[in-house]
Amino acid sequence: MKTYAEMNEQELFALKAELDEQFKTEETKGHSLNMARGKPGVSQLSLSMPMLNVINIDSDMHTLLGNDTRNYGDWDGIGECRYLLADMMQVKKDNVVICGNSSLNIMYDTVARSMALGVNGSTPWSRLKKVKFLCPVPGYDRHFKITELFGIEMINIPMDEHGPDMDLVEAYVNGDDSVKGIWCVPKYSNPTGITYSDEVVRRFANLKPKAEDFRIFWDNAYCIHHIYDEIHDEILNILEECEKAGNPNMVYMFASTSKVSFPGSGVSAIATSLENMEYLKTCMTTQIIGHDKINQLRHVRFFKNIDGLNAHMKKHADILRPKFEAVLEVLESELSGAGIGTWVKPRGGYFISFDAMPGCAKAIVEYCKKLGVVLTGAGATYPYGKDPLDSNIRIAPSFPTPEEMFLATKIFVLCVKLAAAEKLLGEMGDAAAE
């Protein structure tokens, strides 16, 4: 089989004509398929419905220590919920503060607090001439929106199968005191699905920041979100590694149950050093009296412990796995050997990252839209929405059914082929004109 790049102009014209006919046929079918955002499907949400019966009017509303969850107190979260999320994040309970329903909200607050008040007594970032953040790419668009909103300059850091380019990270962090942070999704990364290697984690822990207020924003969003029962990625504990390296205050870790129980109605947490915790306490106890302890109690009584969480996530995996496999089956059968796209088979998380031929991503997304398939916008996985290669597309298989994902991927592949053929024909025309 020839790759597209090996085809001559006549072969590409014939291929494009065939693809155009297929496109017209699909256009008449009125598809309405969405694989844009990583929303849990209806069957996943149903798994947590019994949680709503765990607490009712007759329930004992007290914690194991006897505190009344209906009243004030426990600003850092009820003890049993701190234990539960500490086990989920593989950290110590004393390093955990339970917050509201969204880890994204904690990350926003952490950046906002640093802008307004500084980090542990340092100069507030808003008073500095320049503040920069490193952004491993492709990455999570909502991270980038936070730093963009606050006017923080974002710097692309390429990713490979091991994690971010640590030579670049070290050069920026160790050499520029205006670099104040880096966004990380270290396990089953959004969108590539890769997990940072031990070497990468250790190099993070051993950074020597020129800025004393540099922090790693370690978004452990998918720490228990495996797709396969027999294959689980493991990752070193960044808090422990930073402590060993003499950098105990350098990291904030974030997590939530948004894709475990109910998005918008889960519980979230930040884990960090005890010194950082003291500063957080000063700020947060001014901001809040305490988060929703009844919801924390509901989660603890439903899941009970980390074993209950893991058993629940196996049910999620059973639902997600056929959807991911439907996408991967079509990509493999239709595009392998064509030379017009690459992808990674993730072992967990919520996304499949696809790299098209450079210059094709926007066209693919637009073609899919015309055929009734909604994708995350091209460029969304890069700061400022600007993918320098116009190549990366994030596929989110979670919400549609496996059958819908199979059909949506078939349409996606058609658009990939069409965009690639047009791109190559355009390049041939440009070459002939020179």
Each domain of the chain, given as residue ranges in start order, spans: 4-44+310-433, 61-304
CB atoms within 10 A of CB 174: 15
The third-level CATH classification (topology) of the domain covering 4-44+310-433 is Aspartate Aminotransferase, domain 1 (3.90.1150)
Q: How far apart are CA 346 and CA 20, in angstroms?
A: 32
Number of H helices, E strands in the chain: 13, 13
3-state DSSP assignment of residue 217: strand
The third-level CATH classification (topology) of the domain covering 61-304 is Aspartate Aminotransferase; domain 2 (3.40.640)
The token pair that represents 302 in the structure block:
């439903």
CB atoms within 10 A of CB 42: 10
Predicted confidence at residue 433, as pLDDT, reads 63
Q: How far apart are CA 301 and CA 289, in angstroms?
A: 23
- Cβ burial of 405 (10 Å; 0-12, 13-18, 19+) is buried
User: 47's torsion region: left (phi>0), alpha (psi -120 to 50) or beta?
Assistant: alpha
The token pair that represents 225 in the structure block:
């979100």
Q: Answer whether 277's CB lies under 8 Å from 95's CB.
A: yes
Q: How far apart are CA 141 and CA 148, in angstroms?
A: 10
Residue ranges with strand state E in 100-226: 132-137, 153-160, 163-164, 179-184, 215-219
Q: How far apart are CA 421 and CA 360, in angstroms?
A: 10
Longest Cα–Cα distance in the chain: 81
> Helix crossing, 9-27 with 402-433: angle to 10°?
140
Predicted confidence at residue 2, as pLDDT, reads 86
- Cβ burial of 21 (10 Å; 0-12, 13-18, 19+) is exposed
Q: How far apart are CA 293 and CA 73, in angstroms?
A: 9
Q: Which amino acid is at 265?
A: S
Predicted confidence at residue 230, as pLDDT, reads 82
One digit per residue, pLDDT tens: the chain, 434 residues? 689 999 999 999 999 999 999 999 999 999 999 888 889 999 999 999 999 999 999 999 999 999 999 999 999 999 999 999 999 999 999 999 999 999 999 999 999 999 999 999 999 999 999 999 999 999 999 999 999 999 999 999 999 999 999 999 999 999 999 999 999 999 999 999 999 999 999 999 999 999 999 999 999 999 999 999 888 999 999 999 999 999 999 999 999 999 999 999 999 999 999 999 999 999 999 999 889 999 999 999 999 999 999 999 999 999 999 999 999 999 999 999 999 999 989 999 999 999 999 999 999 999 999 999 999 999 999 999 999 999 999 999 999 999 999 999 999 999 999 999 999 999 887 766 66
H-only helix segments in 304-380:
306-335, 361-370
Give the length of the chain: 434
Nearest Cα residue to 408 out of 351, 369, 359? 369
CB atoms within 10 A of CB 274: 11
